[in-house]
Structure formats: C-alpha cells, structure tokens
Chains A and B, each alone.
Chain A
Amino acid sequence: MNVLETFGLGVRYGQTWAVRDCTLAIPEGRIVALVGSNGAGKTTLLHCAVGLTEATCGMVSVLGDLPAGSIDALDRVAFVAQDAPLYRHLSVHEMVEVAANLNRRFDRPFAAGRLRSLDIPMKRRVGKLSGGQQAQLALTLALGRHPDLLILDEPLARLDPVARHDVMALVMTMAVEDGVSVIFSSHVVSELERVADYLVLMAQGHLQLVGPIDGVLAEHAVLNGPADESESVAEHFCVVHAEEAARRVQLLVRHDQPIDTPRGWEAGAPTLDELVLAYLRDPSLVGRSGPLAIAATRAGGLA
C-alpha cells in the first residue's frame, strides 16, 4: 500500500503554479524526508495530502485509495502544520479536550503522560507556552490519535537541539513499534539523515528526486580529480553538480551502472547532505518521479 500517491498533481495560486506535474508513490512504513528550498511547494503538497488545499489538477490519495482530506482519510492521518497553530486562548488541558472531541479515537492517557514528561503544565494557556512547548504540544496531539500516517510540516523549526533529538527519536520509535508511516518536511538535512529512509526532493513546484535514500545515494557518486580533466571526464557521466577548488574538481554524478573510475580520479559515495545541496543549487535538475526513477534532464557539462 502506498501512504501517499499523487498523479499529475498541480496547484495554482492565481497565475503561479505552487506544485506542477507531481506524480509520486510513497510506500508504507517509511520515514520520508520532504526537502526543498523555500517556495519549493513542500507545504502545498502536504496541504493537498490532508485536504487543506484543493488540487487544481491531478489527484491525491492517501493510505491506499482514500481521497485526501476525506473523513476516512483524516481519521487515520495526523498533521502538524508549520508553526504548530493552536488555540492560544485555551489551556493545554482544553486543547487536549478539543483534539479528543474532534476525533473518533484519541489516547488521552498517552497525551497527558507525554505532556507531563515534557513538564508542560496542563493549566497553562497555550499562548503562554514557549515556541518549543507549543510544537511539542501540537506533536503530542497528533501522536495521541495513533495515526497510520503522520505528516509533519517543519516540525523541528522551533525546537532546540535536545528537543529535536527527542522528537526524532520519538518519531522513529513510533515508526518502528507502531508501524506509523511518517512524512516530514525540513530544511535541516543533517537531522533527516539520521531518521529518514526515503527522500522526496522538490524545487520550484516540481519533483527533483524521489526514492529510498539508500537507493538514491547508491545511484550517485562523487568523483574527485584534476580540474583540467573535468570536461573530458564529465562527458562520460550525468553530472549533477561540479565544484572546483585549488585546481581540483569534485563532480557529483548520477549513474545507472557501476562506475568505471577514470585514472587519476577518486570515486566515493556522497552524503545525503551533499546530494541534497547539489540538487537544491540547481532547481532545473528534474528527475522522473517514482521510486528509483530518476533522470536528470541535463547530462554532461559542468555546472
């Protein structure tokens, strides 16, 4: 079963396409990192997945074939929006009440226990909580629903390093123990690398790269060699990004078959950070959507 499927998805605001020609299928049981620069369309894609935004064209379904935003879908999908918007005039206890009353299933003991462990006072108004506490509260309300799919839009942005670590650990635990699929967007690539096993990379409203992180990394390599040989070497590879320094050049290349390393050059595996940054630097790089189906539109030549 795919937890999120889109086909030809497009969302237009006025004359601007926020998401365009987006086709992907994310299998269940994954922790998916949705990465992209500002304005890439990440939030729009996630909003489509929970029915907050209507598609201009194409279709979106979740958890098999449930229409995104339908009650059957929302019953099994929990969403934490960017900036964790909550009712600031309510107390934490009342906020839990609201969540419990708006859902057919809600685990109050779990929510109360987690908030207690985080030292978040139940009687304090939400507006009086720190940004990190509000994010933790929003996450707790989502986890209290015990969803099949958890969608988090920039969940780490307002958290300190310790809280980030704890949240990621919790997300991993839920994914492993409860089989929850998780999709979260973030700019903090180093944090994603520790927990995510699936990558969706977006730029300017379209998909650049989609697939399991191991597979995506295995399809790319970093070649280091003399700068004066870079053009001749690049002719034999699909170069994603090139970086020159001190008469040496580093090429990030995509390959379908084992690399035959040129003489005098060194080949290595890229880190996720390097890979993501390389794609983000050039939004024109477009891969066909779908697991393991990546095809850069530009092959050869130096960036």
Chain B
Amino acid sequence: MMTTAHVVGPPHLRRLDEISARDARRRLLRVAWLQHRGACLVVLAVFAVLVIAIVLERIRVDGSYAAFVADGCVGRQLTPGTCNTAALALGGQSIFTTLGVALSALPLLVGVFVGAPLVSREIESGTSRFAWTQATPRTRLVFATLGVLAGGAAGMAAVVGLLFGGWYAHVYYVVLAPLDSQWQVTPFATTWWLLSVWTVSALVISALVGTIIRRTVAAMAATAALVGGLIYAGRVVLPEVLHVGASTARLHSAAENLVVGTISAQSQPGWHLPPGSWLLRSWMTGPDGRVLGRSASVHVRNALSARTASGAARWLAVHHDAFWVSYQPPSHFWMLQGAEGVALLAVATLCVLATARMLKRRAAA
C-alpha cells in the first residue's frame, strides 16, 4: 500500500514522499524504541532475573529429581525415610512461593512502570505537543508504542510462565506430594497464557489510567491501586469462578476430612475421577435424595471409615445413601484459562477503545 502527500521543498524530498506501509511500521518501531528503550531495558532486566531464578531452581529440582528416581521412589508410597526426604526436597515450597509471588506481581510492575507513564509522561512533560503535531496520527503513534511494549512484555511473560509452570507441573505429577496444584491460585494465574494476558491487560489498563490522569506519579499510584486490586480480586474470586462448568460425580466410597483441593493426591479406589481433578465441594444424600445434614453425614462417614472400598460401596448401596463431589476435571483447565483470558482481553480491548477516544478528544497539554 502506498501513501501520497503534497510535495513541497527541495527536489530530493520527493523521493521520501512515497512510503510503503511496511516502511511506515518500521519507522514507528524505531520511534517507539528511541522513546521507550529505558522502560524496555528495565523490563528486560526483570525478565532476565526471573529467568535466571527459575532456571537455577529448575537445576536444583532436576538434581533432586534425579536422586528421587535413583532411589526408586517413583510410584512408591512416600513414607518417612529416603523417599519422603527426596520428595520434600523436590517440593521447594519456599522458593516456589517466592517465584510465584514475583510472577504474580509482574503485570503490576509492567502496568505501573511502563503502562502508566506511557501517555501521562508525554502529556506532563509537554512532549505530546511535539509528537502529536507530526504527520503521524497520535493514536497510531501511541498504539504502535503500546503494541511494541505489549508484544515484548507478553512474550517475556509467556516465557517465564512456561518455564515456571512447566517445572511445577513436572514436579507435581511425578512426586504426587501434597503440593500446590495447577488449580490453586498462584499456579493458575502464572501459566504462560494467563500471565501474558494479565501483563498485556495491565499495560493497556494503566495506559488508559495515564491518559485520564495525565500526571505520571499520580497515574502510577492509581495504576498500582487499580491493577493491584484487580489482581487481588482475581485471586479472591477464582475459587468461585472454578465452579463454572464443574462436573458432578457419585462416588462409591468416602474419605475422612475431604477438603477442597486436588483429587489426584487423595484418590481412593472407587472414586473413578480423572487424576488431577480439582475438588470443589462434597456432600451426601440420603434415600430420599435430599442432602444430609452435618450430623447425618458424620454418621455415614463413620460407618464407611472402617470398611474397605468395596465394603463401603456395598454399605452405601444397602442404605441408599450416596456420596457426591463437584469437581473440575483436568480437561477443563485450559477451558477456564481461556475463559478468564478472553474476559481480560475484552476488558483490555475496551480500554484500548477508550484510550483512543480520549486521545482524539483531549487536549495535549
């Protein structure tokens, strides 16, 4: 696609008058890099630190896993002794938690330090009066910059998410220890997909905040509150969100103290649930199909606890009682990831539209 323009000035300028769309994009990328290379380098440094930390942790885990395998612990009951120690070493709970928090905070950091100043600093410093009076639409300039930053940040988030999530899933499935599962809040939010979507959304939301507030520090503070609040709300709401599209199953045995969490680690004969399912809630029904109260449930559990799996199943059949669970099978994991991601991207799209509208309407200084 070629663009044309009115030509004035010296003859050699006429050669520059026809610019391909590809060349125009390259020029905008060059401008975006010159304007925001500082922010890009900071994000790159954070990315490097995270990658190094995750890689070091993975090396440590790989060493422990090799010892775990060498001791013949794979598939064995984890009893006190060698296998239990190796499993605990593989868990690395404290480092996992630290890395998880760091990754969860990545969208917030990108929003506060990259997104919020994007437009607000331009307006506050007055450089918008230069940049927005050149022969490039201000929306195209801002969104080209935003696109470059979002693409870079999303790519980095995806890489650290893959490194982090891949490592965690590996440990979880092999060790079968009561560690956090992929369904828990931090691992759920730090998959390559959701981490990158959250990062892009935080960037876009904070750019809108900066466009509205037009003061850099105030925009950064507002972004910290808003994006931080959204991330926190996401963590609080997630347990409720996980009920969406949940499966229900009638079990033929019951377990004591069954709590919300991954089922694969506590699976028992007669459950027939896919390993890695996430238990949302459990309840019992009596012969009339009604949910049993607390005392009745305790009575049934006590009756089942002394029996084998087949004996428990017989007892339930004879008494016409049933044990039910609501759960999310592993096959729903990426569906729910996708749903949350799409919802976030929809919000981000609205923010982009709002930013474009404000950029067109609002004065530059």
Contact = CB atoms under 8 A, between A and B. Distances in A.
B137 A87 contact: no
Interface stretch (A73-81, A117-125, A184-192, A273-281): A73-81
Contacts of A75: 5-6, 135
A52 B133 contact: yes
Contacts of A178: 8-9
Interface string A37-56: 00000000001001111100
Range for the number of chain A residues in contact with chain B: 35 or more
A106 B3 CA distance: 15
A213 B149 CA distance: 51
A53 B6 contact: no
A206 interface: no
Interface string A6-42: 0000000000000000000000000000000000000
Given A47-B364, A102-B141, A106-B16, A86 B127 contact: yes
A75 B24 CA distance: 14
B130 A138 contact: yes
A104 B133 contact: no
B182 to A, nearest CB: 43
Nearest to A151: B133
A101 B16 CA distance: 11
Nearest to A13: B363
A107 B363 contact: no
Interface in B129-166: 129-137, 141
Given A53-B363, A85-B125, A106-B16, A71 B135 contact: yes
Nearest to B10: A107
A197 interface: no
Given A101-B27, A107-B13, A54 B363 contact: yes
Contact of A102 (B3, B126, B135, B363): B135
Nearest to B14: A105
Given A52-B363, A148-B8, A85 B127 contact: yes
B131 A81 contact: no
Contacts of A83: 126
Given A97-B30, A107-B10, A102 B136 contact: yes
A89 interface: yes
A267 interface: no
- Chain A interface, DSSP helix/strand/loop, else mixed: loop
B30 A101 contact: yes
A8 B324 CA distance: 75
Contacts of A219: none
Contact of A103 (B136, B363, B365): B136
B135 A74 contact: yes
Interface in B34-81: 34-35, 38
Contact of B38 (A89, A103, A146): A89
9 contacts: A52-B132, A54-B361, A72-B6, A101-B31, A102-B141, A105-B9, A107-B13, A110-B10, A145-B135
Given A87-B34, A107-B9, A178-B8, 8 more contacts: A52-B132, A72-B5, A77-B133, A87-B130, A98-B31, A101-B28, A102-B141, A105-B13
Interface of B: 3, 5-10, 12-13, 16-17, 19, 27-28, 30-31, 34-35, 38, 125-137, 141, 361-365
Interface of A: 47, 50-54, 71-72, 74-79, 81, 83, 85-90, 94, 97-99, 101-107, 109-110, 138, 141, 145-148, 178
Question: Top 5 closest A-B pairs, CB basis?
Answer: A146-B9, A85-B126, A102-B134, A81-B129, A101-B27
